A = this chain, B = another copy of it.
Amino acid sequence: MRILGLDPGLATLGFALVDVVAPGTPHLFDYGVIQTAKHQPLGDRLHTIFEDLHHVVARDGPDCAAIEKLFFYRMGNLVAVAQARGVMLLVLHQRQLPLQEFSPPEIKQALTGRGNANKHDVRAAVMREFGLTRPPQPDDAADAIAIALTGCFRRHAIA
Protein backbone atom coordinates (compact mmCIF):
# COMPACT_ATOMS: atom_id res chain seq x y z
CA MET A 1 0.00 0.00 0.00
CA ARG A 2 1.51 3.32 -1.14
CA ILE A 3 -0.04 6.51 0.28
CA LEU A 4 0.32 9.93 -1.34
CA GLY A 5 0.31 12.76 1.22
CA LEU A 6 -0.46 16.29 0.00
CA ASP A 7 0.01 19.66 1.70
CA PRO A 8 -2.13 22.10 -0.35
CA GLY A 9 -0.58 25.30 -1.66
CA LEU A 10 -0.43 27.57 -4.70
CA ALA A 11 3.19 28.81 -4.63
CA THR A 12 4.50 25.58 -3.03
CA LEU A 13 2.61 22.29 -2.77
CA GLY A 14 4.22 19.50 -0.73
CA PHE A 15 3.90 15.84 -1.67
CA ALA A 16 5.16 12.62 -0.09
CA LEU A 17 4.82 8.91 -0.79
CA VAL A 18 4.87 6.49 2.11
CA ASP A 19 4.74 2.69 1.71
CA VAL A 20 3.21 0.40 4.29
CA VAL A 21 5.07 -2.87 3.77
CA ALA A 22 3.82 -4.55 6.96
CA PRO A 23 1.58 -3.02 9.68
CA GLY A 24 3.61 -0.54 11.74
CA THR A 25 6.56 -0.34 9.34
CA PRO A 26 6.09 2.65 7.03
CA HIS A 27 8.81 3.35 4.45
CA LEU A 28 9.42 6.83 3.00
CA PHE A 29 9.48 6.23 -0.76
CA ASP A 30 9.71 9.79 -2.07
CA TYR A 31 8.88 13.42 -1.25
CA GLY A 32 9.22 16.87 -2.77
CA VAL A 33 7.39 20.01 -3.81
CA ILE A 34 5.57 21.38 -6.85
CA GLN A 35 6.24 25.09 -7.22
CA THR A 36 4.60 27.82 -9.28
CA ALA A 37 5.97 31.31 -9.99
CA LYS A 38 4.23 34.25 -8.29
CA HIS A 39 4.57 36.49 -11.36
CA GLN A 40 2.63 34.04 -13.57
CA PRO A 41 -1.12 34.37 -14.26
CA LEU A 42 -3.23 32.26 -11.89
CA GLY A 43 -4.47 30.03 -14.73
CA ASP A 44 -0.90 29.11 -15.69
CA ARG A 45 -0.06 28.31 -12.06
CA LEU A 46 -3.14 26.08 -11.65
CA HIS A 47 -2.28 24.31 -14.90
CA THR A 48 1.28 23.66 -13.64
CA ILE A 49 -0.20 22.04 -10.51
CA PHE A 50 -2.60 19.99 -12.67
CA GLU A 51 0.18 18.72 -14.95
CA ASP A 52 2.86 18.17 -12.32
CA LEU A 53 0.57 16.37 -9.88
CA HIS A 54 -0.68 14.10 -12.68
CA HIS A 55 3.01 13.41 -13.43
CA VAL A 56 3.85 12.54 -9.81
CA VAL A 57 0.89 10.14 -9.58
CA ALA A 58 1.69 8.50 -12.93
CA ARG A 59 5.37 8.11 -11.98
CA ASP A 60 5.06 7.00 -8.34
CA GLY A 61 1.78 5.03 -8.54
CA PRO A 62 0.13 5.61 -5.15
CA ASP A 63 -2.86 3.43 -4.14
CA CYS A 64 -4.60 6.16 -2.16
CA ALA A 65 -4.17 9.76 -1.02
CA ALA A 66 -4.39 11.90 2.13
CA ILE A 67 -4.75 15.69 2.02
CA GLU A 68 -4.98 18.44 4.64
CA LYS A 69 -8.31 20.15 5.27
CA LEU A 70 -8.35 23.95 5.05
CA PHE A 71 -9.24 26.15 7.98
CA PHE A 72 -10.35 29.77 7.88
CA TYR A 73 -8.21 30.92 10.72
CA ARG A 74 -4.98 29.45 9.41
CA MET A 75 -4.09 31.56 6.41
CA GLY A 76 -4.59 34.92 4.82
CA ASN A 77 -4.34 33.48 1.33
CA LEU A 78 -7.20 31.05 1.87
CA VAL A 79 -8.89 31.67 -1.50
CA ALA A 80 -5.65 31.11 -3.43
CA VAL A 81 -4.86 27.88 -1.57
CA ALA A 82 -8.45 26.62 -1.89
CA GLN A 83 -8.39 27.21 -5.65
CA ALA A 84 -5.18 25.18 -5.90
CA ARG A 85 -6.69 22.50 -3.65
CA GLY A 86 -9.69 22.22 -6.00
CA VAL A 87 -7.34 21.38 -8.88
CA MET A 88 -5.49 18.86 -6.65
CA LEU A 89 -8.78 17.12 -5.76
CA LEU A 90 -9.69 17.04 -9.46
CA VAL A 91 -6.42 15.23 -10.29
CA LEU A 92 -6.92 12.71 -7.45
CA HIS A 93 -10.43 12.01 -8.79
CA GLN A 94 -9.19 11.62 -12.37
CA ARG A 95 -6.55 9.16 -11.09
CA GLN A 96 -9.28 7.33 -9.12
CA LEU A 97 -7.38 7.54 -5.83
CA PRO A 98 -9.41 6.93 -2.64
CA LEU A 99 -9.02 10.03 -0.48
CA GLN A 100 -8.76 10.78 3.24
CA GLU A 101 -8.90 14.35 4.57
CA PHE A 102 -7.34 15.38 7.89
CA SER A 103 -7.46 18.62 9.86
CA PRO A 104 -4.22 19.97 11.39
CA PRO A 105 -5.30 18.83 14.91
CA GLU A 106 -6.04 15.33 13.57
CA ILE A 107 -2.54 15.14 12.05
CA LYS A 108 -0.93 16.34 15.30
CA GLN A 109 -3.00 13.87 17.32
CA ALA A 110 -2.09 10.93 15.07
CA LEU A 111 1.65 11.65 15.10
CA THR A 112 2.27 12.90 18.64
CA GLY A 113 -0.81 11.87 20.63
CA ARG A 114 -1.68 15.54 21.23
CA GLY A 115 -3.97 17.59 18.96
CA ASN A 116 -2.30 20.83 20.10
CA ALA A 117 1.32 19.73 19.48
CA ASN A 118 3.60 22.29 17.81
CA LYS A 119 5.35 21.97 14.44
CA HIS A 120 8.62 20.92 16.10
CA ASP A 121 6.94 17.97 17.84
CA VAL A 122 5.40 16.85 14.54
CA ARG A 123 8.76 17.10 12.73
CA ALA A 124 10.39 15.07 15.54
CA ALA A 125 7.72 12.36 15.24
CA VAL A 126 8.29 12.14 11.46
CA MET A 127 12.08 11.87 11.92
CA ARG A 128 11.69 9.19 14.60
CA GLU A 129 9.25 7.16 12.49
CA PHE A 130 11.62 6.99 9.51
CA GLY A 131 14.91 7.03 11.44
CA LEU A 132 15.99 10.36 9.93
CA THR A 133 18.82 12.37 11.48
CA ARG A 134 17.54 15.75 10.23
CA PRO A 135 14.12 17.16 9.27
CA PRO A 136 13.11 16.61 5.61
CA GLN A 137 13.28 19.81 3.54
CA PRO A 138 11.53 21.96 2.45
CA ASP A 139 8.89 22.41 5.16
CA ASP A 140 6.01 21.83 2.73
CA ALA A 141 7.41 18.39 1.87
CA ALA A 142 7.86 17.61 5.59
CA ASP A 143 4.20 18.57 6.15
CA ALA A 144 3.19 16.25 3.31
CA ILE A 145 5.12 13.37 4.94
CA ALA A 146 3.22 14.00 8.19
CA ILE A 147 -0.08 13.90 6.27
CA ALA A 148 0.84 10.66 4.47
CA LEU A 149 1.91 9.11 7.78
CA THR A 150 -1.42 10.10 9.34
CA GLY A 151 -3.10 8.29 6.45
CA CYS A 152 -1.02 5.17 7.22
CA PHE A 153 -1.91 5.21 10.91
CA ARG A 154 -5.60 5.78 10.24
CA ARG A 155 -5.79 3.05 7.60
CA HIS A 156 -3.98 0.65 9.89
CA ALA A 157 -6.33 1.58 12.76
CA ILE A 158 -9.34 0.92 10.54
CA ALA A 159 -7.99 -2.31 9.01
Contact = CB atoms under 8 A, between A and B. Distances in A.
Interface of A: 41-44, 46-47, 50, 70, 72, 78-79, 82-87, 89-90, 92-94, 99
Instruction: Rank and list the top 8 A-B pairs by shortest CB-CB distance, nearest first.
Output: A43-B93, A83-B86, A82-B82, A86-B86, A46-B90, A79-B82, A47-B93, A86-B87
Contact of A78 (B50, B79, B99): B79
A127 B42 CA distance: 33
Nearest to A93: B43
- Quickly give the copy total for this chain: 2
Nearest to A92: B43
Contacts of A86: 46, 82-87
B89 A83 contact: yes
Contact of A89 (B42, B89, B93, B94): B42
Q: Is chain A's binding surface mostly helix, strand, loop or mixed?
A: helix
26 contacts: A42-B89, A43-B89, A43-B93, A46-B86, A46-B89, A46-B90, A46-B93, A47-B90, A47-B93, A47-B94, A72-B79, A78-B78, A78-B79, A78-B82, A79-B82, A82-B86, A83-B83, A83-B85, A83-B86, A84-B86, A85-B86, A86-B86, A86-B87, A87-B87, A87-B90, A90-B90
Contacts of A85: 83, 86
A76 to B, nearest CB: 10
